[in-house]
Chain A
Amino acid sequence: EGAAPAWTPLLHSAPPRGFLSARDGPRYRHRHRDPELSPCSPASCCQLAAVTTLLLPKSRQAAEAEIKHTTEPAPPPRAPALVQMKVKVLSRNPDDYVRETKLDIQRVPRNYDPSLHPFEVSREYTRALNATKLERVFAKPFLASLDGHRDGVNCMAKHCKSLSTLLSAACDGEVKVWDLTKHECVRTLQAHEGFVRGMVVRFCGTSFFTVGDDKTIKQWKMQAPAYGEEEEPLNTILGKTVFTGLDHHQKEAVFATCGQQVDIWDEQRSSPIRSFTWGVDSFSSVRFNPVETELLASCASDRSVVLYDMRESTPLRKVIMKMRSNTVCWNPMEAYYFTSANEDYNLYTYDMRYLTSPVTVHMDHVSAVLDVDYSPTGTEFVSASFDKTIRIFPKSAGHSREVYHTKRMQHVICIKWSADNRYILSGSDEMNIRLWKANAAEKLGVLSPREKQATHYSQKLKEKFQHHPQIRRIARHRHLPKNIYHQTKELKIMKEARRRK
């Protein structure tokens, strides 16, 4: 080994620690008594490893030491203290606590000992308060307005297969297909003369049905006609009376309409396979149950909601309310619950099995409720009202958790909750369709894991401290248009007065 003479002078004078490099590291650390005897080959390095650790500057593992002054003959500078002791002092190796390179993330050692974290409750409370305030700061629910209709939007339909497609129909008989991601209309067709009363997309997503004031049911292809082709319905059924509502079965080629009576149609036939009537009144809407697919509910103008089983020849049950219901919507997760939007400003959630009294009465609107739609998770629903607002209710709460309104939005006629549970679509009188966030303060787009964790944490904190008066006040605060604000107050006074009597 040619390097042998080169390292000999290093033996007795160790350089500072920072000088070390991996290659020459082990060499100078060995303190050989006679360097001539042991040229430092890699093999000898290994043999001497034990010695090496002892001579290194002592780090954590060497912090414990024993002193035996009694046996040591070496001359101490002071009088030898005749003490035998064991001592360990805290000595942290910075390498364990500081990142190695700038490319690493910082090390954050944790210790969850409660005594190191005083004021837990008050600090969490402060965090919850901040989170609540930030939620109100970031609550910007309005996303976009889709304009293009030339008359009030009368009904809308969600596409069953494509999240980004929305169909809307106006009071002048025009149907528009929208691309929601681009906020633009991709197709327009003149479906009926007069109002389009109902519209539904077939479960396969390839075609959709419309009913109109011209007493026809039309089936349309979802695909736009090729260049040069004319826009023509696949099928047209001419009915005897005006149809006011339409819904399609979840799995089978069967759909239901309502008008003078509730009709069940086979797609292949031009006459209804079954007709239901109960009394002489007309019906305003009909909905299939999404879980128990053979069940239907409809609202009649004699203030009742009627339930049907498609397989039977007569209606099942009926519940009569004080005022007329405009629409019903089934809970998509709990098959026996449905909610009806009533003219008396309230929504009523019923259990299908116990129709004697509603499970919950949802109050807050100050005018007739026109439409209602459940979120796909079945935990909340959204309602559209004649008072120009949209409200979101938890399914079992008596009051709304959220109210949306704009200066320009007029009476909201139809409402839909998107199938991905994140958006709400509203169609209103002044020919616009509006896109809202279902959760007003939600950040859109892809969230980083840390962002996700932070939102979950703040959500939990808000939940934990929700009953503290300060936090509740901030969380509940909503700006309302002046007339709605005053009307709410007035209604409250009226209700109080009625209760006192």
Chain B
Amino acid sequence: MNCTETNYSTQSYLSCFLCIYIGKTDPFPGPAPVPVDRVQKFKRKDKIEKPHFKQYKLNDLIVHSEEASELAQKQAARFDLLLPEDAGFLEGDEGEDTCTVSQQDIAEAVDITSATKYFNLKLPQFGPYRVDYSKNGRHLLLGGRRGHVACIDWQSKQLMCEINVMESVNDVKWLHSEAMYAVAQKKWLYIYDSNGIELHCIRKFNDVLRMQFLPYHFLLATASATGFLQYLDVSVGKEVTAICTKTGRLDVMCQNPHNAIIHLGHPNGTVTLWSPNQKEALVKMLCHQGGVRSVAVDKTGTYMVTSGMDKKMKVYDVRSFRPLKSYFLPAGASCLSLSQRGLLSAATADIVQVYRDVWSTPVTKPYMAHRAQGAVWGLHFCPFEDVLGVGHGQGFSSMLIPGAGEPNFDGLDANPFRSTKQRQEWEVKALLEKVQPELISLDPTELGYVDRATLEQRHQDRVQALGFDPLAKEKFVPKFKKKGRSTAGAVERRKKKVAHEDQRDVIRKTVEEKVKMEQAKKAMEKKTAARADQKSALDRFKK
């Protein structure tokens, strides 16, 4: 046994050696190639231009950082191949519309666990309902107009708490985790925990109509009936800013998840953009001829979809504030919601329609449609699931929308399967890296650029304070060398050399011109003379 083993090993060694000796080469040398478009997905910004003059240290720095970022992009692109899940889809046969497929059909066709995600809650007493899903899509919060508030672990269908606040409820919103949520009630803003215990009643926030939570800033932005846009820092419980928008009742609101800017829609057809750092609107856009009914911004912060009283639905590019598409809906859309993969749901009265690719191609037919039992009041796509939550007058229904959710979540960011310990750890980390409200701006990568404006401003201030520019290059003054060159004679001679230089130039030019003219004249004369010498055939007829 022992003998054979050794034999085997020597053999393999020999074969290896032979391979090398013969020169058998690796058919796939080097690392596997990564497709360019995959790498493109992870590209943050263009390559840095190298400085023109020789700055060796800076050049080195740039080269190294470029290499590192390229490597990171490639590795991320490689890792992308290993992602376990694929997105959902719904395809009809040729010539068939997917919008005719009913929810029942889908629920029957898919697996059991997915089928359970299509359900209706009949809550006719306290409706209509506002809806909110937590950031990881695990928990559902329902807020009935007539005071009914419930939170549910909707996948396992476990009720976490159910209360009636005995007051009208305007809006409900999860805070950073499923442990707390905010409820905008008739007068004040309340915060409850997941057992339904009232934690805070915030008297600084009154008549709140709509709310948005900025998860990375721990800010709860509220829009009130009195026209105030207020920001509450939920990590310390302090009001960050209160902005009087001076535009009346604010009941249309959404956030741009890419840069944490709040979009407000107004009855005069404008949409305004707000940050907590400025008392004025950053941008005012006139979007509709009637009032704005609903606004939604996509995940990448590129597109904004608005619907108005003029029964139109419009798509804007919010980076350049340009209209891209305009659609006419016969009844107008009261609620809009965008999914992670860019599906748009629009509700008109009791009908929910879902559209695909509203910004790239002109859409004529909806992707899916569904009739709810009552007029729709709240729409929300569930993150990381192919589910659309619809709150309406008769309760709540959860619809299956294949292809809506992002298939692969990031476990360190929003993990639907996280344990209590993981949640606690995430909470601590998230609080530690809470982004300060001062950093909210239209371009979230602004912090990564060199602040040239401030530098220039500071330099100007310095110049003013000093009375002169300390960095200015001094004008070259030639040294007055005395090596016999400054004697009176030498100076005179030098002066003569350059005296009347301009006049001399003129003279030189005129002389040159004259010479040229003369030469031309001579040439002409020569030509005519030559011509005169030649005798043509017709000369014989001359008299």
Contacts and interface: CB of A to CB of B under 8 A. Distances in A.
A123 B417 CA distance: 24
Given A63-B110, A67-B105, A88 B410 contact: no
B433 A126 contact: yes
Given A89-B88, A113-B410, 9 more contacts: A57-B112, A62-B111, A83-B92, A88-B88, A92-B416, A108-B415, A119-B444, A122-B216, A130-B432
Contact of A91 (B91, B113, B299): B113
B435 A123 contact: yes
Top 10 A-B pairs, shortest CB-CB distance: A108-B411, A58-B111, A97-B417, A84-B93, A112-B76, A89-B114, A111-B408, A86-B91, A111-B410, A91-B114
A93 to B, nearest CB: 9
Given A65-B110, A91-B113, A85 B419 contact: no
B409 A109 contact: yes
26 contacts: A83-B105, A85-B91, A85-B109, A87-B91, A87-B101, A89-B106, A89-B110, A90-B405, A91-B111, A108-B411, A109-B84, A109-B410, A111-B409, A112-B79, A116-B409, A117-B410, A119-B260, A120-B445, A122-B216, A122-B444, A123-B216, A123-B435, A126-B436, A127-B432, A127-B433, A130-B432
Interface string A100-128: 00000011111111111111111101110
Contacts of B86: 88
Nearest to B216: A119
Contacts of A97: 415-417
B98 A85 contact: yes
Interface in A42-83: 57-59, 62-63, 65-67, 78, 81, 83
A225 B3 CA distance: 58
A113 B81 CA distance: 12
Given A58-B111, A112-B80, A123-B216, A87 B448 contact: no
B486 interface: no
Nearest to B93: A84
A85 B94 CA distance: 10
B402 A89 contact: yes
B435 A88 contact: no
A98 interface: yes
Given A122-B444, A125-B439, A86 B90 contact: yes
A420 interface: no
Contacts, number: 176
Contact of A67 (B79, B109, B258, B432): B109
B54 interface: no
A120 B446 CA distance: 11
A53 to B, nearest CB: 13
A123 to B, nearest CB: 5
A65 B109 contact: yes
Nearest to B110: A89
Interface string A250-261: 000000000000
A122 B447 contact: yes
A361 to B, nearest CB: 18
Contacts of A66: 109
A96 interface: yes
A121 B448 contact: yes
A181 B259 CA distance: 54
Interface of B: 41-42, 44, 76, 79-80, 83-93, 96, 98, 100-102, 104-106, 108-114, 117, 216, 257-260, 299-301, 384-386, 400, 402, 405-413, 415-419, 421-422, 432-436, 439, 444-448
B333 to A, nearest CB: 25
A453 to B, nearest CB: 14
Given A81-B100, A130-B432, A110 B412 contact: yes
Given A106-B422, A126-B433, A67 B108 contact: yes
A380 to B, nearest CB: 18
Nearest to A85: B92
B38 to A, nearest CB: 11
Nearest to B75: A112
A236 B529 CA distance: 118
Nearest to B447: A121
Given A90-B386, A122-B435, A114 B44 contact: yes
B479 to A, nearest CB: 21
Contacts of B104: 78
Contact of A90 (B385, B415, B432): B385
A94 B416 CA distance: 10
Contacts of B88: 87-90
Contacts of A126: 432-436
A201 B32 CA distance: 55
Nearest to B79: A112
A57 B115 CA distance: 12
A62 B42 CA distance: 32
Contacts of A107: 411, 417
A118 B257 contact: yes
Nearest to A86: B91
A115 B79 CA distance: 16
Contacts of A120: 44, 444-445
Contacts of B108: 67
Contacts of B433: 123, 126-127, 130
B410 A87 contact: no
Given A78-B104, A112-B80, A83 B109 contact: no
Nearest to A92: B85
A87 to B, nearest CB: 5
A90 B85 contact: yes
A65 B109 CA distance: 6
Contacts of A111: 83, 406, 408-410
A85 B93 contact: yes
B461 to A, nearest CB: 16
Contacts of A62: 111
Contacts of B100: 81, 83
B84 to A, nearest CB: 6
Contacts of B300: 115
A88 B89 contact: yes
B371 to A, nearest CB: 15
A172 to B, nearest CB: 49
Nearest to B432: A130
A84 B90 CA distance: 11
Given A97-B417, A116-B410, A84 B405 contact: no
Contacts of A110: 79, 410-412
A92 B108 CA distance: 18
Contacts of B87: 90
A74 B520 CA distance: 108
B447 A125 contact: yes
Nearest to A113: B41
Contacts of A58: 111-112
A96 B439 contact: no
A82 to B, nearest CB: 9
A467 B417 CA distance: 39
A407 B433 CA distance: 37
Interface centre among A87, A115, A468 (most CB of B within 10 A): A87
Nearest to A98: B417
Among A85, A94, A123, A130, the one with the most B-chain Cβ atoms within 10 Å of its Cβ is A85
Contacts of B413: 116-117
Given A109-B408, A117-B413, A118-B216, A85 B432 contact: no
Given A84-B93, A89-B106, A126-B436, A115 B299 contact: yes
Given A86-B90, A110-B412, A116 B406 contact: yes
Given A118-B444, A119-B444, A85 B96 contact: yes
B474 to A, nearest CB: 15
Contacts of B258: 118
A289 to B, nearest CB: 27
Nearest to B446: A121
Given A89-B386, A89-B402, A92-B85, A83 B411 contact: no
